[in-house]
């Protein structure tokens, strides 16, 4: 396993729609392991492959706390097949939009069809925090970000700040 670099806004790759996975093999499982290690190191509770510059429909998530046993999920080609009518409003953040948070309304529960890390088709209901994380990460696979759900004014302010921070970091690196 190895740590991968997480790309950040305004990287245009984050707007790319990820391609479906054709085959679950050892190479893909190695990518999943790298993603999990990268997510834990960040630290985060969800990571889509596009966030490490790999445009494939793969995500990992784990909402366990530090004092709990790890309980990771590996979702390949995830597809939400049911949204609850009940909505939930909570703060969201993102490893690709560091240090920025916004209240986002999403369905409180979802049903997702996906392949597991062994290539077996699964269908699972997610609710509460897991529902929020899986929707957030699937958005990444579709080229969306949580800031797309806030006002244009707030979104533009965040993108400007991140662009400025990125340019400053690049000039220091030279």
Task: Note down pLDDT in tens along the chain; length 174 residues.
Answer: 799 999 999 999 999 999 999 999 999 999 999 999 999 999 999 999 999 999 999 999 999 988 899 999 999 999 999 999 999 999 999 999 999 999 999 999 999 999 999 999 999 999 999 999 999 999 999 999 999 999 999 999 998 988 888 788 777 765
- Give domain status of residue 72, yes or no: yes
Residue corresponding to tokens 């995830």: 78
Q: What is the CATH number of the domain that holds 25?
A: 3.90.45.10
- Give domain status of residue 5, yes or no: no
Phi first, then psi: what are they for 111, rounded to 5°? -115, 130
Tally of structural domains, the chain: 1
Integer Cα distance of 90 and 128 in angstroms: 10
- Give domain status of residue 1, yes or no: no
pTM reported for the whole predicted model: 0.93
- Give domain status of residue 6, yes or no: no
- Give domain status of residue 2, yes or no: no
Q: Is 137 a catalytic residue?
A: yes
Out of 99, 103, 137, 170, pick the active-site residue.
137
- Give domain status of residue 107, yes or no: yes
Domain around 92: 12-173
């Amino acid at each position: 396993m190895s740590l991968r670099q997480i790309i950040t806004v305004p990287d245009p790759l984050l707007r790319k729609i990820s391609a479906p996975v054709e085959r679950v093999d050892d190479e893909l499982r190695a990518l999943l392991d790298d993603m999990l290690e990268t997510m834990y190191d960040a630290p985060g509770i969800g990571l889509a492959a596009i966030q490490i510059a790999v445009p494939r429909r793969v995500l990992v998530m784990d909402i366990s706390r530090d004092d709990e046993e790890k309980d990771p999920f590996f979702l390949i080609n995830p597809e939400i097949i049911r949204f609850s009518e009940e909505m939930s409003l909570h703060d969201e953040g993102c490893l690709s939009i560091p240090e920025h948070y916004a209240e986002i309304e999403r369905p409180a529960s979802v049903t997702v069809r996906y392949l597991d890390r062994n290539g077996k088709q699964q269908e699972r209901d997610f609710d509460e925090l897991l529902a929020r994380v899986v929707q957030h990460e699937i958005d990444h696979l579709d080229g969306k970000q949580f800031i797309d759900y806030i006002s244009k004014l707030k979104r533009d302010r965040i993108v400007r700040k991140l662009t400025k921070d990125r340019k400053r970091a690049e000039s220091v690196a030279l």
